[in-house]
Copies of this chain bind each other. A is one copy, B any other.
Amino acid sequence: MAMADAACSSEQTGTGRRRFSPLLTIEQVASRTGLTKRTLRYYEELGLLRPTGRSDGNYRLYSEDDVERVERIKELRDLLGFSLAEIRAFLEADDEREQLREAFRQESDVEARLAQLERCDTLIQRQLQLIEQKITGLEQLRSSLQARLDRHAQRRAELLQQRSSLDK
């Protein structure tokens, strides 16, 4: 069995406490996320995912953040039923927000910071709108099914009453 504790290129702190979590091989990411290695490479090819680094031998190395991103992709794919292209757009908004965060921390001018917040909010609003649209559609579906159950409960009550009056 090879590659037991792979790629500890990020070292420990002087005291022995881990400052950076060790980077992961593609196999480890695959087993943690339930995706196949092929799929991870494919997502990278589409620009959805960029592993934090590469080993000396050109092996992909993933950080915990990368794993989180993978989970995010899965969520968007399974919950929202988005195509990978749509997910890409969605994540690009995330990325721009990340950039804005960085810029925000370096910016000192109050007006500029307010403008950045504004921009960031519109990005979020757009995502929220998409999600809420899906939710209302689903809730509509749910309530129609629920109504059916309610009608059945009504019928059931009638039938039970019928039965008890016969039992007498």
> Which positions in A face B, CB cutoff 8 Å?
75, 78-82, 110-111, 113-114, 117, 120-121, 124-125, 127-128, 131-132, 134-135, 137-139, 141-142, 145-146, 148-149, 152, 155-156, 159-160, 162-163, 166
A82 to B110, CA, bound (A): 47
A156 to B149, CA, bound (A): 47
**Across the interface, do A149 and B162 meet the contact criterion of CB distance under 8 Å?**
no
A-B contact pairs, 7 of them (CB 8 A): A79-B138, A80-B81, A114-B160, A120-B152, A131-B138, A131-B145, A135-B135
A123 to B150, CA, bound (A): 14
**Across the interface, do A80 and B149 meet the contact criterion of CB distance under 8 Å?**
no
Query: Which of B120, B134, B148, B159 is within 8 Å of A138, CB to CB?
Result: B134
**Across the interface, do A142 and B131 meet the contact criterion of CB distance under 8 Å?**
yes
